[in-house]
Structures are given as C-alpha cells and as structure tokens.
Amino acid sequence: MTTYLLKRLAVLLASTAVAAVAVFAFMALLPGDPAEIALGVNATPEAVAELRRQFGTDRPPVAQFLDWSGGLVSGDFGTSYVTGAPIGPQIAERLGVTVVLVLGGMVLALALAVPLGTFAAVRHRDPLGVAISAASQVGIAIPAFLAGILLVFVFAVRAQVLPSGGYVPITEDPGEWLRGLLLPWLSLGLVQGAVLTRYVRSAVLDVMREDYLRTARAKGRGAAGALWRHGLRNASVPVVTVLGLQLATLLIGAVVVERVFVIPGLGDLLLNGVAQRDLLLVQGVVMVLVAAVLLINFVVDVAYHLLDPRLR
Amino acid sequence: MLKVEGLTVRAGTVELVSDVSFGIAPGERVGLIGESGSGKSLTALSLMGLLPEGVTASGRARLGERDLVGVPESRMKRLRGGELSMVFQEPMTALNPLMRIGAQVAEVLTLHGRPRQEARERSVELLERVRLPGPAQIARAYPHQLSGGQRQRVMLAIALANGPGLLICDEPTTALDVTVQKQMLGLIAEVAPALLFITHDLAVVASLCERVLVMYGGRVVESGPLREVFTRPRHRYTQGLLAASRLTPRGTRLPIIPGAVPAAGHFPGGCVFRDRCPHATPACATTPALTGDGHAHACWHPAD
C-alpha cells in the first residue's frame, strides 16, 4: 500500500507539472499582449516596451515559465496585469467558496442517490422502483443551471423564503451563509444526485445477482441483511469511479451555477478575468482547476485500493 | 432425518419440479442425478428456501421436526447455515471478494449466536478441519489469493460450521480439476452428517453415494440403492444415461439418448421421457407413478 501510494503520488506530481506546461503554453499561444491591452490603442511603442519590461513579458517564454511555475510551488501566482494585486490570495479565497459549494452539492447528491438507487434496485419490479428510475432519467436531462433558475423561481420569486442569489461569508452571519447556499447546493445536488442514482441502481442490481449474496443467505442472512453486509461495499466500487468523474465535472460546472446565484467563487473569478483580459489571473485559475481534477483522480485511485483488496 | 413429499416447484403456471418425494436417513449419502434442466438444483434450492424471485414451492419437506416448505423466511433464516447448509457449484464467485476468509467463516457462526471472539478462533479450527494448509494464514487471506479447490474447502468449512443435520452439495466439484475433485469428494464423504449430493457426473455419484435418485423433466424417474440402479436400471432414461456414460470399444458409435432435453414447461404430458424413449407406446400418455420398494421406477415399460 505504501509503495503504491508513493508511486501514485509521483504520478500526481508529474502530471501536475505537465499540466502546468500545457496551461502556460496554451496561454502564451493566445494572441494579445498584456502590455498593449493595458495601455490601449494610443500608447507609444516606448511605453508598451517599458510596461512589457515591468510585467516581464519581454523575456523568453522559458524564463517566464520557470518564474511562474517556481512561484506556484510557494503559492505565488504572480501579480495581476490589470489591478496590480497579487493573484494567489484571491484564488485562495474564491477556491474556498467553490469547494464548499461543490462538496455540499456532492454530499447532497450522495445522500439522495445511495438510498434512492438502492431502493430502486431492490424494488426494480415494483412501480415505485420503476418510478424512481424514471424520475432520475428526467433529472439527468436537466442541466444544473436550469435547475438553479427553476429553484430560484419557486423558492425566491414565488415563495420568497430564500434569497435568489448573493453570498454572505460564514464569518459574518452563519445563518445567512447557509440560506444563501441552500439553493445552489440543491441545484447541483439534485442533478448530480439523479445521475448518481442511476449508477447506484445498476451497481446494486449487478451485485444482487452475485453468487456471494446467495452464499450470505445460505449462511442465514435475510435478503436485506445480505445486501447490507456484502452487497453495498461491492457496489460502491463502480460508484466511486463515477463519483470522481462527477466531482471533476461539478467543479468545472460550478462556473455556471456561480453565475446564476451570484456567488463569488472560482468560476466567477475566472469569468471576470476573461472579461478584463487579465491573462495571468486566468492562467492561475485554470491551473488550480486542472490541479484539482488531478487531485480528485488521485483520491479516487487511492480509495479504489482501500476498497478492493484484489488491487493491492 | 429429511422427508420430502410431493414437492412441486412452479414459476407462474409452469411446473419445473413435479411431485418429488424422497427421504434421507441420518448419516446417509444420497445422490441426485440428471441432466441440466432436470430440476435438481431447484429441488435443492426449494429445501433451502432460496428459490429465485417468482419461483415458488409447494408440498411438504421436513428436516427432523421442522418444516422447510411454505415456512416464513424468518424461520428459514435460522435453519440455513445452522441445521441445514449448502455448498454451491461455482467456488470462484461464491465468496465475497472484499472480505477476509476468516471473517466470512466467522460470520456464519456469529449469525447463529456465537460470540465474536469465539467465532474467530473457531473459524480457524474449521479451516483446519477441511484440511487447508496454514489455516491461520488462510483466515487472513482474501478469496482471490486462494485456488478454486481451496475456496471450495472454505465453502465447506462455512457449511459445516454449525454442525448441520443435512448437507446439500450442488455440483461442488464440477468446476474443479480432476485431482482436486477426488480430494474434495473424500473430504465431503468424511465430514457430511447426511448428504444430498447433486451432480450430472455418474462416476462421482458411484464413488460417494449409497442411494441415488434419477431426475428427468422435473420428476424423479428412478430411485434406489446405488448398486442396483447402476447395474440393473429399470427406467429407460436411466438406462440411456448409463449407456451414454459407459466406455465403448474403439470404432463403435457412442451410444446417445436421441433428441434433446426440452425447455422447461415443454415436456410431454404423461411420462416426461416418452418423446425420446425408444420403447414408448400410447400407454405412456398416462403419467406412471414411482412404484417399487427400495428400488423404484416410474415407467410403463421398464427394463428388467
């Protein structure tokens, strides 16, 4: 296990390094010179050259990359071309908000999908089981932002029990913080929960046909006891894979939901950066998102190994 | 010990097993033979109360003083793995891949009331009893680290854990190598309290059982002491089955039973074998009863 962990960790570091090169190269290839953008169309060539020198964009790309990636290691993402403020602290603050949003949505999705999916599998012949399966299909067809808009319409516009958007830091008012996050969590959680319900259902259905479940019953367990003790952990192996993929999609998809609910997360920061052509900020946010996806995959692989002794 | 009377298994309106009756005395080893689809496994599963969804059993089956058919699941649950236990055909998939062997053996003990610590110690003893080398290490292993034969021994240890009155084995050696098969059969013969052994392999039955039941089309067509049934088969199906498994001189055609086993629910009325039987006459349209003391057969035109 330890050797596996070290190996997998090495892979994580290597792939993050490759990702850094890719992100940097991609941004460098984009047309547009930060100095020209900052000074506008009427700037003199001398002023542009001077600003380039200040930004450091007059140096060869390799030197720029080494400078940037060296900073990343210590959490220094450089200084914004537009505002002149350091980028690292901004990303850290926004990342916290996004992580809370995404994890909350995921927990809700799991809380819905595990019991519903299991129930739908056990009762796959009953009308109720079929109904859950069909309802989850509908849930999959609805994108998260649309679910968000519908939820806002029902709870904020009609019933007026929850705010339609906005974000209050937990340090200011925990109650308002929670109220502000409920609808975003719901819109992410319902949609992801619907997708996950289908995966849980099919995983449990597969497990129910396994011989070891019959063995468990031959030992004297009831059908429910056998499924609980022997089935669910086995069913969780494929579900964990999907969970990892979903978490990654959710992180990227949060960009849209943050827009709908006016939440100052990483997605919001990214869109602002794009709008203001703050290239270094965009580069930093993209790098963080890519690294987060790589980290999720790492966690999924390790979870796999903990769950399934055949992989050890 | 075990007394089965008029056991019938149905899936909806289709009769899969019809009116099966037999008994097993304490210490007796009975073989249940027949081709795939003859209803052997369903007979066993109905005794265990483990029939698949949508399949139901009726009739009577008693193990000692306890009923096995038409009994609520809560009562069957207490019998399974206790008084009555079963070893299945496929050892490779019968154990939970994510659980250590020791825990899987101990589970059947704790389920039937043993304290956890005691169950753990006892499970190592059980693994030793089925002659697994290094039982303590085996207890810590996961199923994928064991061979098929070893896994089947583990299944046997689980089945024997609570000292059952009757052990049911459903083709327990079919998936094993021939050499391992022999050892496994020897072990089963040694440890089984009373045995119902299901197989399609006549040689296996011959080496293990004292009495044999021959099933075809969901019915018992012949039953009796092994030696008699195998040397002097009365039912034409048994006769064909034995002829097909006998070694034939070089250059001669292999004897076969003409036709194929019909799908469930498509057996002819009357004698279930009459559409494949070379001796069938119009009389066979009436169902023959299983008659005869000791060596019984259900055939209008028995061989003699």
Angstrom distance (rounded) from CA B231 to CA A59? 98
**Least confident piece of the model among A57-61, A102-106, A298-302:** A57-61
- Which of A174, A111, A148, A169 has the alpha carbon at shortest distance from A253? A148
Residue B304 lies in a domain: no
pTM, two decimals, is 0.85
Both tokens of residue A59?
Answer: 């140096």
Q: Give the whole-number percent of chain A exceeding pLDDT 70.
A: 100
B214 is a domain residue? no
Per-residue buried b or exposed e for A289-307, using 16+ beta carbons within 10 Å of the residue's own CB: bbbbbbebbbebbbbeeee
Our count of domains for chain B comes to: 1
Longest alpha-carbon distance in chain B: 66
| A80-94 residue pLDDT tens | 888 888 999 999 999
Given this model, what pLDDT does residue A140 score?
83
pLDDT band at A108 (very low <50, low <70, confident <90, very high): very high
The pLDDT tens digits for A23-37 are: 999 888 887 777 887
Q: Could you say which of B74, B86, B94 has the minimum Cβ distance to residue A212? A: B94
User: CB count, 10 Å around CB of B114?
Assistant: 18
CATH code assigned at B34: 3.40.50.300
Q: Would residue B55 count as lying in a domain?
A: yes
CB contact under 8 A, B96 and A234: yes
- Decide if B299 is inside a domain: no
Q: Strand (E) positions, chain B?
A: 2-11, 14-24, 29-33, 55-63, 66-67, 84-87, 166-170, 195-199, 211-216, 219-225, 296-297
- The tally of CA atoms less than 13 A away on the side-chain side of residue A45 is 0
Average predicted confidence (pLDDT) for chain A: 89
pLDDT category at A166 given cuts 50, 70, 90 is confident
pLDDT band for position A79 (cuts 50, 70, 90): confident
User: Do the Cβ atoms of A229 and B111 come within 8 Å?
Assistant: no
**Cβ neighbours of B188 (radius 10 Å):** 23
Q: How far apart, in whole angstroms, are the C-alpha atoms of residue B21 and residue B44? A: 13
Q: Has residue B61 been placed in a domain?
A: yes
* Residue B85 belongs to domain spanning: 2-95+164-209
Q: Cβ–Cβ of A219/B97 closer than 8 Å?
A: no
CA distance A45 to A38: 13
Q: At what angle do helices A279-307 and A266-275 cross, to 10 degrees?
A: 150
Contact A294, A288 (CB under 8 A): no
Q: Write down the pLDDT at residue A285.
A: 93
Rounded mean pLDDT of A73-84?
A: 86
pLDDT band at A41 (very low <50, low <70, confident <90, very high): confident
Place of tokens 């008012």: A173
User: CA of B228 to nearest chain A CA: how many angstroms apart?
Assistant: 34
3-state secondary structure of B251: coil
Residue A279's pLDDT is what? 87
- Does B190 reside within a domain? yes
Q: Do B88 and A310 touch (CB under 8 A)?
A: no
Q: Please report whether residue B113 resides in a domain.
A: no
**CA dist B276 → B176, B253, B279, B284 (Å):** 32, 19, 9, 12
Domains of chain A, each with CATH number or no CATH: 2-86 (no CATH), 88-311 (1.10.3720.10)
* Low pLDDT (below 70) residues in chain B: 247-248
d(CA A201, CA A129): 10
Is residue B287 in some structural domain? no
Distances (CA, A) of B162 to A219, B101, B140, B295: 10, 17, 21, 34
Residue B144: list chain A partners with CB under 8 A: 309-310
Kindly report, residue by residue over B226-258, the tens digit of the pLDDT.
999 999 999 999 998 888 887 667 777 777 888
Quick check: A218 and B85 CB within 8 A? yes
